[in-house]
Structure 1
């Protein structure tokens, strides 16, 4: 909920470069609604919304025969069964990735807090690996194409990424680095100190959500699903590039800070994604479209 009078403006600071008005962060309540002791936060709604909307879009892709070189390699009942698998993969992988990549020393000292998901702390790269594991296990069990199932999952992935970054913004977390005071949309976050900062969550929502979704949607309409792995590889590569760009504006996690040469953990984890994605794209382009129906 947006509290009344939140969009306040601050007067010109002493720095002559400061704009006439500086945007103050709109103070949102992180709790979307509560029914008695049952509390639902915006971040949880982002996950739920991403999964539900992604499921709806995935069903539409499967049902459109024009997108496939023959029958779709995944049936609608199989997709419905897969939702539970991928949900578990995202949550377990996302939490495990955060524990291992971003705060291992803290959780070694407080292992019980690993399971306290309501306190926050999820990693996209870990969640992606968990999703990959879910895809591979489900595809093997059901004798369907790993690459084609991966194509479907990554085609809908930007929906969840977009909603997740919006939830980061609502929670006033993962805010950006200090911005040039003359930047018109520089924002003062309540827990980010008195200096104007980049609203990096919105930058990432645009790059990882809107831009990535649009590119993949155009590729699908140009026949990309007829070459297994092409959407999967494109998602991995483009996300890695978008994440590295976003990291230039995002404040590093305080427990890690900047790493070698000013790099961040998000940048380092994205480099292997770009390489792996490029390899998958190259293999998909060499593969004949007719091979779509074969389990790979």
Structure 2
């Protein structure tokens, strides 16, 4: 059995204000993706052939501006996607889910729950104690964040008159970086743990920091799969390597939309496979979970983008 490290989910604590590794993982993922796209745009060998003919689909300045839009898309889409897919849809039909906690009716009694969970805290100033509620941004949906980023890409590309599919391919080629950092943050938080196992990969998701933070160990004291690390490898490292190989070795980005299709297909496969190890908080029937259900539209979107890439090559041309 593996030992669960003594991680503290809170990176920096300043009175009632806490900076969590989860928030820092979003920052690290976005900055790393931004840096890599700029590096890719500077590689002339990637853009020398049609449909680009030596001209990358965007400039470094375009990408810098795009990531402001993408950041808003990730945060707003991720949170509202969780509210829609899990808080309303899943908890509405299967209210006995582990993390439902009175959802979706709790949205009606306190609409602020749509934005964040609110935790009681104490603020000590000038010898006085103030009881306040601090927002804690939990419950983020990748699929919601994906929709948010997709909308950001479409709106931004149309505004700048850039090719939407080519910009989408760039974004998808680096998206696994964010997935990797996010899953590592899930591991540090001791959340989204795996199924109980007696294999050598099992670990007990309990530590002094987790016990103090959650007033107990939510995963219990049985060894479980580190499903967060499995997802970090499959959705992050493996998918990133596959997409970069497809671009650099086979130049599949020269059919705009194809890399996006491969990303959708690869993520859907990685997520559905990892659900067999993950003790999903949103089971639908038997072994079938909400994560598997949401992989189906991912595969449908993948088929659509691949079809577009091969049947509509003229879409890859940069607008004049």
TM category (shorter chain) comes to 0.7 to 0.9
Query: 1:230-241 counterparts in 2 under 5 A?
Result: 230-241=258-269
Q: Distance in 2 between matches of 1:145 and 1:246?
A: 34
Q: Distance in 1 between matches of 2:10 and 2:220?
A: 23
Q: Distance in 2 between matches of 1:66 and 1:287?
A: 24
Q: Which runs of 4+ in 1 moved over 6 A?
A: none
Q: CA deviation at 1:259?
A: 0.7
Match of 2:291 in 1: 266
Q: Distance in 1 between matches of 2:172 and 2:20?
A: 25
Q: CA deviation at 1:292?
A: 3.1
Would the alpha carbon gap of residues 265 and 139 (structure 1) be closer, same or farther in structure 2, given more than 3 Å must change? same
Counterpart contact for 1:73–1:293, Cα < 8 Å: no
Q: What is the alpha-carbon root mean square deviation over aligned residues?
A: 1.8
Match of 1:107 in 2: 107
Q: CA deviation at 1:282?
A: 2.6
> 1:138-182 deviations in whole A, cap 9, x for unaligned?
111111111011001111100000000000000000001111x1x
Q: CA deviation at 1:130?
A: 0.5
Q: Distance in 1 between matches of 2:107 and 2:25?
A: 25
Structure 2 counterpart of 1:141, from 145, 156, 159: 159
Match of 1:286 in 2: 311
SS in 2 for 1:259: strand
Counterpart contact for 2:276–2:287, Cα < 8 Å: no
Are residue 217 (structure 1) and residue 257 (structure 2) matched? no
SS in 2 for 1:39: strand
Query: 1:194-209 counterparts in 2 under 5 A?
Result: 194-209=221-236
Report the count of equivalent residues.
269
SS in 1 for 2:151: helix
Q: CA deviation at 1:279?
A: 2.1
Structure 2 counterpart of 1:242, from 270, 287, 292: 270
Match of 1:91 in 2: 75
Q: TM-score, normalised by structure 1?
A: 0.86
Are residue 171 (structure 1) and residue 189 (structure 2) matched? yes
User: Which stretches in structure 2 are left out of the alignment for 5+ residues?
Assistant: 89-103, 117-134, 207-217
Q: Distance in 2 between matches of 1:244 and 1:155?
A: 20
Q: CA deviation at 1:35?
A: 4.7
Q: CA deviation at 1:119?
A: 4.1
> 1:231-275 deviations in whole A, cap 9, x for unaligned?
11110111001000011111121xx4x213431111101111012
Are residue 132 (structure 1) and residue 132 (structure 2) matched? no
User: Which stretches in structure 1 are left out of the alignment for 5+ residues?
Assistant: 1-21
Q: Distance in 2 between matches of 1:62 and 1:292?
A: 16
